[in-house]
Structure 1
Amino acid sequence: MSSGKKKLTDEEVREMIEDSDDEDFSDGSDEEFVPSGEELEDSEMEDVIEDIEYDRNYVCESQPNENDKNRASSSPSESTDEESDPVRGSPRQLPFEQQENLIWLSDVLALGRENFSGNPGVRNIEEILDEDRKVNIIKIFEYFLDDSLIEEMVTHTNNYAQTYQNVRSGLHSRMKRWKPVDKGDLKNFFGIIMFMGVKILPSIEHYWKLDILYYCPLMHSIQMSYNRFVTILRCWHFADMQVDNSNITHKIDSLVQKLVGKFRSLYVPPEVIVVDESIIKFYGRLRIKTYNPFKASSYGIKVYKLCTVNSYTWSYEIYAGASIQYEGLDKPGTVVAKLCEPLLDQGRVLIADNYYTSVPLAKYLKDRKTDLCGTLRKNRVGLPLNVTKSKLKKGQCVARQKDNYITVLKWHDKRDVLMISTCHGTR
């Protein structure tokens, strides 16, 4: 007797299984679906990676604690509608996101810049001019790396070499032939390093080869042997020998501070400044080495930089892991505040990408008479939902403004672009 059930063929079973895997996303919203690397452009995938790196212990003055959130969402006696309080005349007991959303107004005013009161331009110009009153490259090098700094390197390098020589006492060790360095040796050493950056060979040893394929007349005219160069490179030091586990960069901090001081003393930035980061290529063993596949050098040392519109690096800070945060700011915002500190309160405009920008940073800079403008991430705390959640067609734009000095704007071209500014309206 037939059971009334039709037996499926192998082909029909296979089709049913394949169809069950083809599930559409709820509404195509990028808030609910993070596409894979194959479906993203380079710039979009970089945002996804940086989102993972972003510190989620974000500090915001208006963010409620967990008890406040639970009380607002679980209490049956308090309405979550936009109901006015009879005493204060304002919405009462709304969810946190809705309360934040009401602060942002749809009437977007045109904002002006702070009045610039700085005095930009080159300083100490006489230090970098030759006898013909022309800028001299050698003079610029000697300004940044002056004799006093080289003398410190000579002292610390010789001290370290003496200690290292006592430890490495092997019969055939290069350190057995060590001779103390002087300023002339270090200047030749610097010259070789810069030449290696221009002419790339397979290894350091290749620069001293006599083979016609690798022969470099310049290297042999400097009169520094391969063994001498390698031993100086091994013992090159900038500070006293010490161990500081709390500060990974303690061996180079003094050098960086002096170089940054030289950068700042030669040039004062104009009205517009930029904060960004670079990767210094390095493949060796180092605790602070980072990886970013979207940089020109994927592996290396991450450096935060403050630059001018004409590409002058005015200040920089080496990323070394955990650091002290300013109250009310996240880690990227603290980096910006540190780099810009000497330039604040003068009416400048800071340009930054979405890794650094946030509403708390905009408020901090505005209180210091400095404007902020840049792209913005939609997962930042305190943003208007009717901007971040809006669905736009190509060419459309939506904006909201808070306290008449912070504008958050989104417009759609090939994809959504979210921006924040304290000196612009909708244009």
Structure 2
Amino acid sequence: MGDRALTDKELEGIINNMSDCEYESDVDDSVGDPDFENFSSSESTDSEFDAGTARKRKKLEICVEANANVGAIDTPVDSEVNLSESSESSSDECSPNRDVSGSHKVRVIWNDCSGNLKDHPFNANPGFSAEFFAKRSGDEPLDFYKLFLADIIPMIVQETNRYATQKIISCIANETIQKNSLLTHWKDTNESEIVALIGMLIWMGLDKKPTLKDYFSRNILYKNDLGKYIGMSRMRFELLLSNLHFSDNETTDRTNRIYKIQPLADGLITNFQAACIPKKDVCIDETMIPFRGRLSFRQYIPGKRHKYGVKIFKLCAEKGYTYNLKVYSGKEDNPTSQSVASRVVLELMEPLLDCGRLLCTDNFYTSVSLAHELLDRKSHLIGTLRKNRKFNPKPITDAKLEKGDLIVRESNTHVIVGKWRDKREVLFLTTEAVPEMTGVQTKPGVVKKPSTIAKYNSIKSFIDVSDQKASYSTTVRRGIKWYRKEAIEILTNTAVVNAHIAYKFFTKKTINITKFREELVNKLFNERHNIIDIPSEGISRNHKIIEITSRGRCTRCYKANSERNGRAYAMANTPRIKMHCQGCEHKFLCMKCFFDTHNCSLRK
């Protein structure tokens, strides 16, 4: 043909006559994601090694053939690609050819929908565990909340005392402890004090103040007597908060990046799963805990309300109940052939697989490969899909639709991929049912949507409800210790939301999450000192001057001198006395201040 340029018709003829062409997505954002590797069309060998990890990799050879019946797409696609997966990730239906080396040969053919999908009936017994909740002592909010923390509080007490002791010994050995350090005032804590600390943290979410010290301020704008009522001073609160710990630093496995909160997370997850068995529909998504400090696995997600923070993967059931969770700690040192999304899904879903559940995921997790793995474990998948995922049917991804149009394709491996256009194009995947246009009631009126999209919106709201409830009166504040923020989030938000859901189910009472927190705080404090619910007129006010062995400055005199001339003047000129009134809030009172503040006079 010489050097003459080919015409458009000649190029079209060459393309139509091509066979065995390699099929890849037009857009590839697969850097660092094993599910989206660039695949070779060559036959896999029995002893192929990855140059990066020098380990054997099993091959799954997939041949993709797409029929062309959509719009202007009239060229069938028949290609061969290799997908690295473990031998367990493919079912017998998806792997008709199996050799002794462990390689799987799968032929995936996309055709018009026939409705020939796998039927995995739901065979679990969902609901709250009567045995678990039979251990509660009553029907108050605290009774449900304490069930989740029954074995957590003793662990926190033990590890907090251990950590404080280790820190004191280290400071003494290194001669770094200061004379006026708070650490010199440390005394071992107990369960009652940790319960009061958790109650104060929840209360701080209800009563927002600029800084922590303002909760103990005597300024008329912030003054409150809660710390005095529960017997916890500002110094003690700061000591407990700074030494709050959940694992033993000396014996734990430090290769685990989240070792500081792993025992707490494992204990709460065990209780969450023992308390409730989810219904058929479940949802997996991520949530962000805000944190802007220096941390190797800190995430940046621009679409989230808190763009910087630690990411938590959550599996939620109906009404926002958190069944399982996983703190994302960055790239693993020993990665498998699966992508991060697939590993997270299979790990969170492990207790719920093999019983016909329907999992809902967004486009970060959804893929044809994941659908095959879940079908192999008798579970269905529904979710939105990214256009550049490998093994998507090209006639679907390339189709140009008008508003309201719907096209679908079904594979011989029982996976349906479709596209629907509303204001924009939405690509989705399902293994449960063939999508059909249905009417959905919205505020403007009835809107036609595919049944798959309507079901996705309904199930996806489980995570949204959980995050919404946790956001009301949240107690998470700024701090430099990431693990403390994670722990406070799980203890005072996730566990409280789960307790709220269980409380409403068993008591049949309608109560919002804020009121539930208020009653919870009231009972947490009342359990320790039994004074929160006592009327003020019932409190004993036996005003009497007594003399004690210790000495201190008169509270009122010191305050007056400090306001007029400053703290240094007050320290030097306020006398130290041994007298105080046993019925007053002031520890020390001179004789003049006693008679100035009480409705009585000196007898002559």
Q: TM-score, normalised by structure 1?
A: 0.75
How far off is 1:284 after superposition? 3.2
Looking at structure 2, the residues matched to 59 and 366 of structure 1 have their Cα atoms a distance apart, in angstroms, of 20
2:282 aligned with 1:278: no
Moved more, 259-268 or 188-197: 188-197
Q: 2:128 aligns with which of 122, 145, 154?
A: 122
Partner of 1:14: none
Q: 2:156 aligns with which of 148, 153, 158?
A: 153
Distance 1:311 1:326, change over 3 A: farther
Distance 1:229 1:111, change over 3 A: same
Moved more, 191-200 or 290-299: 290-299
Paired amino acid for 1:373:
I
Distance 1:53 1:136, change over 3 A: farther
How far off is 1:150 after superposition? 1.7
How far off is 1:227 after superposition? 1.1
Partner of 2:34: 57
Alignment gaps of 5+ in structure 2: 1-24, 45-64, 67-74, 82-105, 437-604
Give the secondary-structure state (helix, strand or coil) at the position aligned to 1:127: coil
Checking the alignment, whether the CA contact within 8 Å between 2:108 and 2:412 is kept in structure 1 is no
Give the secondary-structure state (helix, strand or coil) at the position aligned to 1:103: strand
2:224 aligned with 1:216: yes
2:84 aligned with 1:109: no
Give the secondary-structure state (helix, strand or coil) at the position aligned to 1:213: coil
Give the secondary-structure state (helix, strand or coil) at the position aligned to 1:251: coil
2:384 aligned with 1:380: no
The equivalences for 1:244-259 within 5 A come to: 244-259=253-268
Looking at structure 1, the residues matched to 145 and 367 of structure 2 have their Cα atoms a distance apart, in angstroms, of 38
Paired amino acid for 2:202:
M
Give the secondary-structure state (helix, strand or coil) at the position aligned to 1:189: helix
Paired amino acid for 2:40:
N
Give the secondary-structure state (helix, strand or coil) at the position aligned to 1:230: helix
The equivalences for 1:6-405 within 5 A come to: 55-58=32-35, 64-65=39-40, 95-96=79-80, 103-109=109-115, 111=117, 113-123=119-129, 124-128=132-136, 130=138, 135-146=139-150, 148-166=151-169, 167=171, 168-242=176-250, 244-323=253-332, 329-403=338-412, 405=414
Checking the alignment, whether the CA contact within 8 Å between 1:128 and 1:136 is kept in structure 2 is no
Could you report, residue by residue, the CA deviation over 1:92-139 in whole angstroms, capped at 9, with x for unpaired residues?
995448xx9972112442647521100001112313461xxxx32111
Distance 1:165 1:326, change over 3 A: closer
Give the secondary-structure state (helix, strand or coil) at the position aligned to 2:223: coil
How far off is 1:199 after superposition? 1.7
Looking at structure 1, the residues matched to 26 and 39 of structure 2 have their Cα atoms a distance apart, in angstroms, of 24
Looking at structure 1, the residues matched to 29 and 147 of structure 2 have their Cα atoms a distance apart, in angstroms, of 41
Checking the alignment, whether the CA contact within 8 Å between 1:116 and 1:347 is kept in structure 2 is yes
CA-atom RMSD in angstroms: 3.0
Could you report, residue by residue, the CA deviation over 1:161-210 in whole angstroms, capped at 9, with x for unpaired residues?
11212305211111111111111111111111111122221111111001
Looking at structure 2, the residues matched to 292 and 284 of structure 1 have their Cα atoms a distance apart, in angstroms, of 15
Give the secondary-structure state (helix, strand or coil) at the position aligned to 1:175: helix
How far off is 1:426 after superposition? 3.1
Looking at structure 2, the residues matched to 279 and 195 of structure 1 have their Cα atoms a distance apart, in angstroms, of 22
Looking at structure 2, the residues matched to 52 and 129 of structure 1 have their Cα atoms a distance apart, in angstroms, of 54
Moved more, 195-204 or 170-179: 195-204
Distance 1:104 1:169, change over 3 A: same
Paired amino acid for 1:57:
P
How far off is 1:66 after superposition? 6.3
Paired amino acid for 1:353:
D
Looking at structure 1, the residues matched to 189 and 381 of structure 2 have their Cα atoms a distance apart, in angstroms, of 48
Checking the alignment, whether the CA contact within 8 Å between 2:280 and 2:356 is kept in structure 1 is yes
Distance 1:378 1:275, change over 3 A: same
Distance 1:354 1:225, change over 3 A: same
Checking the alignment, whether the CA contact within 8 Å between 1:277 and 1:305 is kept in structure 2 is yes
Looking at structure 2, the residues matched to 228 and 254 of structure 1 have their Cα atoms a distance apart, in angstroms, of 25
Distance 1:191 1:67, change over 3 A: same
Aligned residues: 352
Alignment gaps of 5+ in structure 1: 1-30, 34-50, 70-80, 83-90
Looking at structure 2, the residues matched to 145 and 398 of structure 1 have their Cα atoms a distance apart, in angstroms, of 50
Partner of 1:78: none
Q: TM-score, normalised by structure 2?
A: 0.54
Looking at structure 2, the residues matched to 96 and 366 of structure 1 have their Cα atoms a distance apart, in angstroms, of 23
Distance 1:211 1:113, change over 3 A: farther
Distance 1:109 1:121, change over 3 A: same
Could you report, residue by residue, the CA deviation over 1:288-323 in whole angstroms, capped at 9, with x for unpaired residues?
222223222222211000001211000000000123
Give the secondary-structure state (helix, strand or coil) at the position aligned to 1:58: helix
Looking at structure 2, the residues matched to 202 and 373 of structure 1 have their Cα atoms a distance apart, in angstroms, of 44
Distance 1:369 1:93, change over 3 A: closer
Looking at structure 1, the residues matched to 263 and 332 of structure 2 have their Cα atoms a distance apart, in angstroms, of 18
Identity %: 32
Moved more, 159-168 or 376-385: 159-168
The equivalences for 1:406-425 within 5 A come to: 406-425=415-434
Checking the alignment, whether the CA contact within 8 Å between 1:325 and 1:334 is kept in structure 2 is no
Looking at structure 2, the residues matched to 271 and 92 of structure 1 have their Cα atoms a distance apart, in angstroms, of 38
How far off is 1:335 after superposition? 0.3
Distance 1:418 1:93, change over 3 A: closer
Higher radius of gyration, 1 or 2: 2
Paired amino acid for 1:289:
R
